[in-house]
Homo-oligomer: A and B are copies of this chain.
């Protein structure tokens, strides 16, 4: 039997854990993995904490995402939520629930993806704890922790009338990537068809890039932390589409966000509705030195939380895992 064929059901939890930890950067925490809990340093006495889960089916397809892709995305989406508060990510805790027929090679690729995301997006952040269990449904629950390093957290509720509205990162690319997958890599019954390395190579460069943005998002964390340091009044991760997320920020701040469609690129509808961008929506006072590109203005609260070119947006309105589950099954 080759190692690649060994399944997690044939190994102990300790054996699987060692195979993961060996592939991750070494912990620099006061107490790293291996005890009942980790102990992490947050010098200013505050810790930022968030959790997000990826479930096979609504959140990913194994036919499309490699184990590396899944590890990368699971880390990236959680790191983005930490950075959206203006914090520097310091640690991930990773709970992995897998069918016992899962090959051990899956776990290794997944760990490599976690490590790559930390190295690329948040150097110094390490996996400081985790949990392995058995499940019929492959499930990845990640908690990310961060340090504010003395800064105030940047909340959703801080936008003020007259602020400029900015976006850091791309809009709509991840949604376009998902559309490519649903349109070209499903069979007549809607079941996913394997996205092989050869099939990915054969995509035209723009489509390949969009698919990559969907499967391995690269949130510009450094710019989010710089936005916080530059006095952003409000900030949030763009995970469910610009209109839906801007609605949340507007509601939390009791303002209306007036978006300008001309700033939203070639396909404003995709930019407004597409989910999983994992960029950042930020507001800055008029006299600030903003980061990102301007997409609108904060105005006095109106009936609509968000307007596009002065009108209510009647598009799809973002992603809701409950409403969209059947469609999401594709």
A interface residues (Cβ-Cβ under 8 A, vs B): 8-13, 16, 30-31, 34-53, 55, 57-59, 81-82, 84-85, 87, 91, 93-95, 97, 100, 128-137, 139, 141, 143-146, 148, 153, 155-157, 236-237, 252, 320-323, 325
A322 touches B46 (CB 8 A): no
> How far, in Å, is A32 (CB) from chain B's closest CB?
11
CA distance in complex: A13, B81 (Å): 18
CA distance in complex: A58, B99 (Å): 11
CA distance in complex: A156, B44 (Å): 28
Contact of A141 among B8, B53, B81, B137 (CB under 8 A): B53
CA distance in complex: A55, B55 (Å): 13
B30 touches A50 (CB 8 A): no
**Beta-carbon nearest neighbor of A139 in chain B:** B139
**Beta-carbon nearest neighbor of A280 in chain B:** B36
CA distance in complex: A320, B9 (Å): 11
B49 touches A93 (CB 8 A): yes
B41 touches A46 (CB 8 A): yes
B139 touches A137 (CB 8 A): yes
Q: A321-B132, A325-B9 are in contact. Are A37 and B49 (CB under 8 A)?
A: yes
B145 touches A49 (CB 8 A): yes
Contact of A37 among B30, B81, B91, B130 (CB under 8 A): B81
B87 touches A37 (CB 8 A): yes
**Beta-carbon nearest neighbor of A235 in chain B:** B36
B42 touches A133 (CB 8 A): no
B93 touches A37 (CB 8 A): no
Q: A57-B135, A91-B49 are in contact. Are A42 and B39 (CB under 8 A)?
A: no
B321 touches A49 (CB 8 A): no
Contact of A97 among B46, B53, B155 (CB under 8 A): B53
Complex contacts, A155 vs chain B, CB 8 Å = 31, 35
**13 A-B pairs with C-beta separation under 8 A:** A12-B322, A31-B153, A35-B252, A36-B50, A36-B84, A36-B85, A36-B156, A37-B49, A50-B93, A52-B131, A55-B139, A97-B141, A141-B141
- Nearest first, the 7 A-B pairs at minimum CB distance are A141-B141, A37-B50, A137-B137, A36-B84, A143-B143, A51-B93, A47-B47
CA distance in complex: A76, B48 (Å): 22
**Beta-carbon nearest neighbor of A153 in chain B:** B39
Contact of A134 among B42, B156, B322 (CB under 8 A): B322
Complex contacts, A143 vs chain B, CB 8 Å = 49, 51, 93, 143
Contact of A58 among B48, B50, B85, B133 (CB under 8 A): B133
Q: A55-B133, A85-B31, A135-B58 are in contact. Are A141 and B36 (CB under 8 A)?
A: no
Q: A30-B46, A51-B141 are in contact. Are A39 and B136 (CB under 8 A)?
A: no
**Beta-carbon nearest neighbor of A37 in chain B:** B50
